Amino acid sequence: DVKVTQSSRYLVKRTGEKVFLECVQDMDHENMFWYRQDPGLGLRLIYFSYDVKMKEKGDIPEGYSVSREKKERFSLILESASTNQTSMYLCASSPGVFYNSPLHFGNGTRLTVT
C-alpha cells in the first residue's frame, strides 16, 4: 500500500513564524500535492509538483511556497504564518503515468496559528 506520511499531526505556531510542513511518500510517485481543507470550503489546491525541483501554483498559493529536492519529499512552507492560515493541511501523491490514478493522501496536519 502507498504510504504518505506527514511529519506532524498537530502544530501550533505564532503569527509571523516561518512554518515547515513535511510530507514523504514511499511509492516513487511523480506527482505530489498540498491541499488545505476548511469547513464549508472543501479541499483547495495550494501547490503541486510533477517532478523533482518542479512546482506549479494551485488555486490558492498566496502566502505559501514549496520545495521538492527529492522525489519522495514535498515540503510546504509558510514564510510568515498568519491566523488565516489556521487549517487542516493534506499532502497527496499520485503516479504520473496513469491519467485517472487516484490521489493517495496523508492523514493531515492540523495547524493553528495564534
Partner 1 sequence: TQLLEQSPQFLSIQEGENLTVYCNSSSVFSSLQWYRQEPGEGPVLLVTVVTGGEVKKLKRLTFQFGDARKDSSLHITAAQPGDTGLYLCAGRASGGGADGLTFGKGTHLIIQP
State in angstroms the smallest separation of the CB of 46 from partner 1: 11
Nearer to partner 1, 17 or 38 (CB): 38
Q: Are 71 and 21 in contact (CB under 8 A)?
A: no
- Closest CB to partner 1 among 31 and 85? 31
Q: Secondary structure of 65-101 in the HEC alphabet?
A: EEEEEECCEEEEEECCCCHHHCEEEEEEEECCCCCCC
What sign has the CA pseudo-torsion 37, 63, 33, 111? negative
Segment near partner 1 (CB under 8 A), from 13-21, 40-48, 61-69, 71-79?
40-48
Q: Could you list the residues that contact partner 1 (CB under 8 A)?
A: 4, 31, 33, 40-45, 48, 50, 56, 58-59, 90, 92, 94, 96, 99-100, 102-103, 105-108
